[in-house]
Amino acid sequence: MNTRLNLPKSNVHSHTTFSDGRNSAEDMVRAALALGFHTLGFSEHGCADYDDSAMPLDREPEYRAEVLRLRAKYAGQIDLLLGCEHDWLSPPSPYAYDYAIESVHYVRKDGALWCVDWSREKLVAAAREFYDGDFYRLCRDYFRTVCESIEGTSADILGHIELVMKFNEARDLFDDADPRYLGPALECAELAARSGRLVEINTGAIAKGYRTQPTPGPAMLKRVRECGGRVILSSDCHDRDHLDCGFAGAAELARACGFKTAWEYRRAEPVEYPL
Ligand SMILES: [Zn+2]
Ligand SMILES: [Zn+2]
C-alpha cells in the first residue's frame, strides 16, 4: 500500500488567453496562490504559422511584459516563470526564456502537415488520408518526429511524448500493446530518458475530458525509468480551475512505474523531490 503521495505545489506548463487558454495570466496567478503554489510557469505556444491557436509573433513582447509585470507584482508570494512551449516544426523564438518545453503537435507527411491533438475526427481523417487507414504507420511517423525533436532540441522539458494516445484511451483506434506501436514508443521513451531532459507526465487531456489517465502510459514510463530518465508532473493547464488537475493520479502512476522521485521548478531551476 502506498504511503501518502507528495504532490508538487507548482506547474510550469500553462496557457492563457495569449494563446489557447481560457483565462488571463493574472487569473492564473490568483488560482495558483489559492492552491498554495510556490511556482507557476507560463508556457505559451510559440508562433507557428500553421497553427491558429499559437501565439502570433507580434504578441510575444506583450506576453513577456505581462509575465514580468506579474512577477514583480507578486514577488514574495509566488515565483512566476516566463517560459514557452515550442512546436518542433516551427522556427525558434528570437527571445530568451526561463525554460522551454519542446512538443510535437504536428507531423509532416507527403509535403503536408497533420495535427496530432486537434480532435479525434481529425486524427482519424489523417490516418485515412496519409496512411490508408493504418494507425500503426501513423504512430510510427509520430514517434519518429518525437525522436527527431528530442535529438534536435535544446529545451529543458519534453512535452507530452505520447500525445498520439490522447483520443485513444479506449484503445478502439489502435492497440498500444501491439508491437507495431510499442516498438517505436519504447525507442522514443529510451531516447527521451537518455537525453537527460525532463520528461512530462502530462494530465492535460484529463482536464479536457478526453482521458482519465495521464500520458505517457505505464509502458513508456517504465522504460523511461529503466533508462535513468527524470519526470516532471504537468497539467498543461488551459483553465485556472485545472492547475493541479490529475496530479495525484500522475504521482501514483510514477510510483507504480518505479520512480522514487520527480522534479519540479523552484526559482527557474528544476529540483528533485521524493514522490
Ligand atoms: Zn502541447
Ligand atoms: Zn501545452
Residue 270 has pLDDT above 80, yes or no: yes
Backbone dihedral angles phi then psi of residue 112, each to the nearest 5 degrees: -120, 175
First to last CA, the chain: 14
Instruction: State in Å: Cα 113 to ligand 1 middle.
Output: 16
Instruction: State in Å: Cα 3 to ligand 1 middle.
Output: 32
Beta strand spans in 181-247 (E): 198-202, 230-234
Instruction: State in Å: Cα 101 to ligand 2 middle.
Output: 9
Query: What's the pTM value of the predicted model, to 2 decimals?
Result: 0.97
Instruction: State in Å: Cα 32 to ligand 2 middle.
Output: 17
3-state secondary structure of 86: strand
Average pLDDT over residues 177-196: 98
Q: Which of 230, 240, 222, 227 is nearest to 270 (CA)?
A: 230
Instruction: State in Å: Cα 41 to ligand 2 middle.
Output: 12
Q: Give, as one character, the DSSP assignment of residue 172.
A: S
Instruction: State in Å: Cα 59 to ligand 1 middle.
Output: 19
Residue 221 has pLDDT above 70, yes or no: yes
Q: What percent of the chain clears pLDDT 70, i.e. is strictly above it? A: 99
Sign of the dihedral defined by the CA atoms of residues 214, 222, 127, 47, in that order: positive
Instruction: State in Å: Cα 205 to ligand 1 middle.
Output: 10
Residue 2 has pLDDT above 80, yes or no: no
Instruction: State in Å: Cα 42 to ligand 2 middle.
Output: 10
Sign of the dihedral defined by the CA atoms of residues 50, 54, 58, 64, in that order: negative
Q: If you average pLDDT over every residue of the chain, what do you get?
A: 96
What is the topology classification, in CATH, of domain 10-274? TIM Barrel (3.20.20)
Ligand nearest to the CA of 21: 2
Count CB atoms within 10 A of the CB of residue 132: 9
Looking at residue 3, its pLDDT comes to 63
Instruction: State in Å: Cα 77 to ligand 1 middle.
Output: 28
Query: Can you give the residue ranges of every domain in the chain?
Result: 10-274
Instruction: State in Å: Cα 1 to ligand 2 middle.
Output: 33
- Are the C-beta atoms of 106 and 89 separated by less than 8 Å? yes
- Are the C-beta atoms of 262 and 273 separated by less than 8 Å? yes
Instruction: State in Å: Cα 1 to ligand 1 middle.
Output: 34
Average pLDDT over residues 243-268: 97
